[in-house]
């Protein structure tokens, strides 16, 4: 029999396999997760609410016959507190929504429950997954530092062994960057492939449901459940030499030494493993993508928060009044040009990415900074604008290093291809340095 510490450190796929084999019950798994939360969350502060019925749900699921069990049977998950949950408050980490209880679950939450998952609780987030109030969550590797934003609690909960899987969102860099800061695997799928019904809207052109796990297999598990196993084109078996492009993007001068080192190590290790590694310089007009993202983000945010500004006035954080009042001063002509540029850039990048099995880029400017700010989205926003699938993979540096990751990217809708290649790439990038706890 496994002890609590061993259970807490299981990946989602490992836990599901153990439950199928009868070596682990859902109740034991949920109990171990709750024990870890009780031990650690007073310091980490990943959770805003916990499910008081989780153990009873686990016991009920343990009684289900093996042939009636669904794909996530008995697996506890964390849910970022911008997803509606009928049985738990959905506060958006906003003082305006304390105690708010939606009438129904968000579509993704409903679907995961239908597949047998147990919502263990709601994780902390930057206010409305946008701006305003920061999450209180600390980085499990150094509590003086941020776990990133806006999906702070979800990333920290997986990293600190509270739960094996957690839901996130990304509008700029809110899934990938916390994954890098916390040293966990993270996936932002292709834009539009996962329902956003029942998730707080910030920018309709960018908002994307994402998730965290402890392995690429965990990411693929969730992707398969959510219907992302459909290939863009007939898939070849994921063997043989991979064609990999390494890029620092157009903002190399903004990268800290640790991110440059992670990129360099990724290139060296992949090349040594026999893969074809190419340095990729993105087109000159790629430098404009971040500014275009910001114009669309703030203008769509203007629409998303206009009602709250009118209803709550000064009680709403000034960051949201900034959007509503268009303090950036962008014009509607600027917005039209940004939309047009986004459409053309998506076509252009898909043509570039089609020549490679994966493009590797920085996941963050560097290590998690001290404090609780979400971090700079500069190295994520362009990929979000392009609508492409992104996977954060940790890169091993020195044994005492803070976590750092790189982003694996593919053309739009090549999610299943990217996951298959990530499964081969991830062990190579973690082949040196600090062992897992």
Query: What was the pLDDT predicted at 217?
Result: 98
Nearest by Cα to 403 from 177, 240, 154, 164:
177
Q: Which among 11, 26, 45, 80 is annotated as catalytic?
A: 80
The CATH class that applies to domain 10-230+239-436 reads alpha beta
| Half-sphere exposure at residue 377, Cβ-oriented, CA atoms within 13 angstroms | 23
Active site residue 287: no
Confidence of residue 357 (pLDDT cuts 50, 70, 90): very high
| Half-sphere exposure at residue 189, Cβ-oriented, CA atoms within 13 angstroms | 27
Arithmetic mean of pLDDT, 280-295? 96
For the chain, domain boundaries: 10-230+239-436
Decide: helix, strand or coil at residue 174: coil
Interval 113-172: pLDDT, tens: 999 999 999 999 999 999 999 999 999 999 999 999 999 999 999 999 999 999 999 999
Interval 389-406: pLDDT, tens: 999 999 999 888 999 999
Arithmetic mean of pLDDT, 219-230? 97
Q: Residue 141 corresponds to which tokens in the numbers above?
A: 């590797």
Does the CA dihedral 154-159-163-166 come out positive or negative?
Answer: positive
Give dist(CA 418, CA 410) in Å, integer: 6
Nearest by Cα to 163 from 287, 251, 34:
34
pTM higher than the cut 0.95: yes
Peptide bond into 150 cis (omega under 30): yes
Whether 89 and 44 have beta carbons less than 8 Å apart is answered as: no
Give dist(CA 15, CA 218) in Å, integer: 10
Q: Which among 26, 174, 205, 248 is annotated as catalytic?
A: 174
Q: Which among 11, 26, 94, 150 is annotated as catalytic?
A: 150
Query: What was the pLDDT predicted at 236?
Result: 58
Query: What was the pLDDT predicted at 398?
Result: 82
Query: What was the pLDDT predicted at 239?
Result: 72
Q: Residue 172 corresponds to which tokens in the numbers above?
A: 């700029």
Lowest-pLDDT range of 59-68, 227-236, 241-250: 227-236
Active site residue 174: yes
Q: Residue 436 corresponds to which tokens in the numbers above?
A: 């897992």
Give dist(CA 209, CA 192) in Å, integer: 9
Decide: helix, strand or coil at residue 374: coil
Q: Within its chain, how far is the Cα of 67 from the centroid?
A: 32
Does the CA dihedral 354-360-362-367 come out positive or negative?
Answer: positive
Query: What DSSP assignment string belongs to 55-108?
Result: HHHHHHHHTS-GGG--TTTT-EEEEETTB--TTS---TT-GGGTT---SS--HH
What Å distances lie between residue 286 and 7, 139, 164, 289, CA to CA?
45, 32, 36, 5
Active site residue 150: yes
Whether 417 and 395 have beta carbons less than 8 Å apart is answered as: no
What is the distance between the terminal CA atoms of the chain, rounded to a whole angstrom? 20
Nearest by Cα to 126 from 146, 151, 157, 109:
151
Query: What was the pLDDT predicted at 435?
Result: 32
pLDDT for 337 beyond 50 = yes
Lowest-pLDDT range of 45-49, 293-297, 423-427, 432-436: 432-436
Give dist(CA 328, CA 335) in Å, integer: 12
Confidence of residue 426 (pLDDT cuts 50, 70, 90): very high
Give dist(CA 210, CA 168) in Å, integer: 5
Confidence of residue 237 (pLDDT cuts 50, 70, 90): low
Query: What was the pLDDT predicted at 235?
Result: 66
Arithmetic mean of pLDDT, 246-263? 97
pLDDT for 205 beyond 90 = yes
pLDDT for 240 beyond 70 = yes
Arithmetic mean of pLDDT, 286-304? 98
| Mean pLDDT of all residues belonging to the chain | 96
pLDDT for 308 beyond 50 = yes
Whether 166 and 118 have beta carbons less than 8 Å apart is answered as: no
Nearest by Cα to 382 from 294, 261, 319:
294
Decide: helix, strand or coil at residue 10: coil
Arithmetic mean of pLDDT, 311-317? 98
Query: What was the pLDDT predicted at 433?
Result: 38
What Å distances lie between residue 117 and 147, 282, 290, 392, CA to CA?
25, 41, 37, 24
pLDDT for 434 beyond 60 = no
Q: What letters, b where the CB count within 10 A reaches 16 and e where it falls short, cover 392-419?
A: bbbbbbeeebbbbbbbbbbbbbbbbbbb
Interacting residues of 378 by C-beta distance below 8 A, sequence separation 6+: 251, 254, 290, 365
Confidence of residue 436 (pLDDT cuts 50, 70, 90): very low
Interval 68-107: pLDDT, tens: 999 999 999 999 999 999 999 999 999 999 999 999 999 9
Phi, psi at residue 139, to the nearest 5°? -80, 125
């Amino acid at each position: 029999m496994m002890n609590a510490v061993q259970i807490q450190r299981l990946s989602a796929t490992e836990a599901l396999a153990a439950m199928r084999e009868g070596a682990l019950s859902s109740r034991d798994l949920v109990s171990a997760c709750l024990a870890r939360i009780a031990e650690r969350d007073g310091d980490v502060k990943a959770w805003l609410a916990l499910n008081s019925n989780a153990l009873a749900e686990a016991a009920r699921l343990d009684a289900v016959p093996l042939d009636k069990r669904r794909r996530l049977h008995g697996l506890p998950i964390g849910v970022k507190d911008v997803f509606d949950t009928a049985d738990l408050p959905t506060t958006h980490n906003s003082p305006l929504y304390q105690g708010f209880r939606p009438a129904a679950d968000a579509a993704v939450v409903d679907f995961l429950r239908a597949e047998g998952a147990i919502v263990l609780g709601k994780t902390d987030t930057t206010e409305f997954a946008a701006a305003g109030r920061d999450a209180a969550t600390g980085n499990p590797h150094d509590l003086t530092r941020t776990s990133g934003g806006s999906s702070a609690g979800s990333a920290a909960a997986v990293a600190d062994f509270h739960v094996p899987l957690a839901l996130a969102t990304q509008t700029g860099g809110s899934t990938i960057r916390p994954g890098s800061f916390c040293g966990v695997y993270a996936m932002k799928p292709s834009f539009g492939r996962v329902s956003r019904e029942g998730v707080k809207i910030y920018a309709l052109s960018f908002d994307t449901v994402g998730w965290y796990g402890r392995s690429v297999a965990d990411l693929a598990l969730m992707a398969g459940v959510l219907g992302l196993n459909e290939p863009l084109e007939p898939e070849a078996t994921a063997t043989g030499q991979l064609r990999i492009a390494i890029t620092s993007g157009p903002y190399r001068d903004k990268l800290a030494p640790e991110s440059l080192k992670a990129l360099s190590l990724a290139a060296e290790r992949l090349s040594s493993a026999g893969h074809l590694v190419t340095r990729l310089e993105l087109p000159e007009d790629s430098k404009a993508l971040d500014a275009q993202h910001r114009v669309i983000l703030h203008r769509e945010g203007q629409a998303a928060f206009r009602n709250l500004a009118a209803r709550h006035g000064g009680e709403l954080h000034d960051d949201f009044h900034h959007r509503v009042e268009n303090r950036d001063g962008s014009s509607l002509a600027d917005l039209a040009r940004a939309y047009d540029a986004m459409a053309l850039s998506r076509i252009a990048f898909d043509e570039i990415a089609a020549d490679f099995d994966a493009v590797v880029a920085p996941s963050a400017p560097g290590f998690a900074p001290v404090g609780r700010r979400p971090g700079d989205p500069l190295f994520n926003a362009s990929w979000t604008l392009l609508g492409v699938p992104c996977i954060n993979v940790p890169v091993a540096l020195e044994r005492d290093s803070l976590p750092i990751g790189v982003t694996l990217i593919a053309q739009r809708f090549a999610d299943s291809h990217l996951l298959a290649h990530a499964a081969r790439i991830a062990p190579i990038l973690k082949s040196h340095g600090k062992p897992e706890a």
